[in-house]
Amino acid sequence: MDLGLKDKIVVVTGGGSGIGAAISMTLAEEGAIPVIYARRAPDDGFLAALTAKSPRAGWIKADLSLDEDCRRAVAQTHERWGQVYGLVNNAGANDGVGLDAGPEAFRASLNQNLIHYYTLVHLLMADLKALKGAIVNISSKTAVTGQGGTSAYVAAKAAQLGLTREWAAALAGDGVRVNAVIPAEVMTPLYRRWLDSMDDPEAQLAEITARIPLGQRMTLDTEMAATTVFALSERSAHTTGQWLFVDGGYTHLDRALSTLAPTT
């Protein structure tokens, strides 16, 4: 299936690792030109593989919590690549800022996980309107379930879902589509480090996967990427304002289920 993304510039924040890297690579495989915004250089092997599929792909160093870095990254993108068709707001991490952390830590966490979502849409809005482009916000199941001990991250992720609907409404008249993709349990390097901090990582992993109804397994980063890239594409031309859960049924199906009933 041709997704109609050939030679289109798509900014992917945090696009050099984890889910973001899978999105960047899938875009490259579809002929798009991913431009990664990240604080650190992506792995050399990853960059080599990415540019082998999309020779014009690249990355820009940026601390997205700083407005000036966001402005500089967008200016450099325009100078090197031209107008931007798509934006994947992905960068961020669950930093465990809970009720005991205090308001200063809460605000700082929102700056790391939320504010740049708005800032980049603001800065790229003229491009998106001109090209009738698309935005995908990567959120989290914690936005709708809560987690405990993660007030700031949950606030950011829930706000991203609200902004998805708000921006879809605000930009519909300009032909710009805005959707959110929501993971639950995806085995990224960050997730692996969290597991490895447990006394018995494999037992913890088994407990988690047992609660995922479809296949009792973690979601693959490539599955997250496939939905994200489809949502960016012309094949998803009449889909906007949607929250797309890619989680094996974890969020909305009974987590106590050990198997799904067979279909007939």
Whether pLDDT at 264 is above 80: no
- Radius of gyration, alpha carbons of the chain: 18
pTM of structure: 0.93
Model confidence at 262, in pLDDT bands (50, 70, 90)?
A: very low
CA angle 19-111-117, nearest 5°?
50
* Two tokens, residue 171: 């930009």
Residue 154 φ/ψ, nearest 5 degrees = -65, -40
Q: Which residues are catalytic?
A: 153
Whether pLDDT at 188 is above 90: no
Locate tokens 């961020």: which residue?
A: 92
- State how far the Cα of 88 lies from the Cα of 66, in Å rounded to an integer: 18
Residue 11 φ/ψ, nearest 5 degrees = -80, 130
Of 77 and 255, more confident: 77
Closest CA to 128 of 176, 79, 160, 165: 176
- State how far the Cα of 204 lies from the Cα of 210, in Å rounded to an integer: 10
* Two tokens, residue 1: 């299936």
pLDDT tens for each residue of 64-97:
999 999 999 999 999 999 999 999 999 999 999 9
- State how far the Cα of 16 lies from the Cα of 92, in Å rounded to an integer: 12
Q: Which amino acid is at 31?
A: G
Name the DSSP class of 38. E
Of 192 and 46, more confident: 46
Model confidence at 256, in pLDDT bands (50, 70, 90)?
A: low
pLDDT tens for each residue of 152-171:
999 999 999 999 999 999 99
- State how far the Cα of 167 lies from the Cα of 261, in Å rounded to an integer: 38
Look at residue 258 in the predicted model and tell me its pLDDT. Answer: 52
**Cα 36 to chain centroid, rounded:** 12
pLDDT tens for each residue of 49-61:
999 999 999 999 9
pLDDT tens for each residue of 192-242:
888 888 889 899 899 888 889 999 999 999 999 999 999 999 999 999 999
Name the DSSP class of 179. E
